[in-house]
Structure 1
């Protein structure tokens, strides 16, 4: 069999999600403007992140090894090709070297600017995920010319 590489079911599902995000983004941008399209996609991404993050709350406030094993290196992690950059008693930092969302958008002909905008929408998921899980985090999103995709650093929630 030749042609496109065989994708895992998870990677195929994420690439389908990329196609849906792009279609919704373009439709909303045409009918309501880009700012409203970004707002709606961020809101939807946030809602999804809150759901997923609740399942990670068991690792708060400082079980970074458990978080690494369960989330970053879990069953579907190969889809994102995570590279562990640091794990200590105070944090876990992972660089994702692949992203089916980003890669899908690029294959669909999106410009770098459009990919960055769509990633900004999608990373609302990450903010909500870590909020619901009870951690603080830093996210460095992909930018043109940068290898891989996003870098995430998760730390214990600071007391307010």
Structure 2
């Protein structure tokens, strides 16, 4: 059972950002489910993943250009996770160093949009994994490794995300 709780409710900027993110998620979710209904699920997933991957690469390059020290994951975290974005996803920092960032998201506006559309838990989990291709490719553009652990869409209390420096080969 998915429990996508929300505790920050009365912040106008957060509500605007959640609305925009939810609108984007609605487009993606309906595109995928309409394609699935038409028997084109695999093709739709492939195309959606390609588009989200490219979006993540673009966003990652933009973040890298703005980041005061792209070699520092801590600097990346401060550039990528703005105060409004932190509140939007109700982000909790578990570890933030130059080599690693462990964060937990306590709310997901994308998932809320999919739930509001009445999508079943399996569809929500599939869409979540597709959406995470954006974050995977932000990490790649930054030259970092990425790990997605638990997700709210899979029924866990939080989404656990790690950005880390990968071992370089000599």
Q: TM-score range by the shorter chain?
A: 0.7 to 0.9
1:132-151 alignment, distance < 5 Å: 132-142=141-151, 143-148=153-158, 150-151=159-160
Q: 1:68, CA displacement in angstroms?
A: 2.2
Give the distance between the partners of 1:49 and 1:89, measured in 2 at CA: 21
Equivalent-residue separation in structure 1 for 2:25 and 2:156 (angstroms): 20
Matched, 1:60 2:70: yes
2:35 to 11, 28, 35: 28
Q: Give TM-score scaled by structure 2 length.
A: 0.81
Q: Is the 8 Å Cα contact of residues 150 and 156 (structure 2) preserved in structure 1?
A: no
Give the aligned CA root-mean-square deviation in angstroms.
2.1
Partner of 1:79: 88
Deviation at 1:128, TM superposition (A): 1.1
Alignment correspondent of 1:152: 161
Number of matched pairs:
155
Q: Deviations over 1:94-149 (max 9, x none)?
A: 0011110011111211111000111111111111111111111111251433113x
Unaligned runs of 5+ in 2: 1-8
- Structure 1 residue 23, shift from structure 2 partner: 1.2
Tell me the distance in 1 between the aligned counterparts of 2:134 and 2:73. 20
Within 1, Cα distance between the matches of 2:150 and 2:112?
14
Is the Cα–Cα contact under 8 Å of residues 73 and 82 in structure 1 kept in the other structure?
A: no
Please tell me whether residue 98 in structure 1 is matched to residue 145 in structure 2.
Answer: no
Provide structure 1 residue ranges, at least 5 long, that are not aligned to the other structure: none
Worse-matched range after superposition: 72-81 or 89-98: 72-81
TM-score scaled by length of structure 1: 0.86
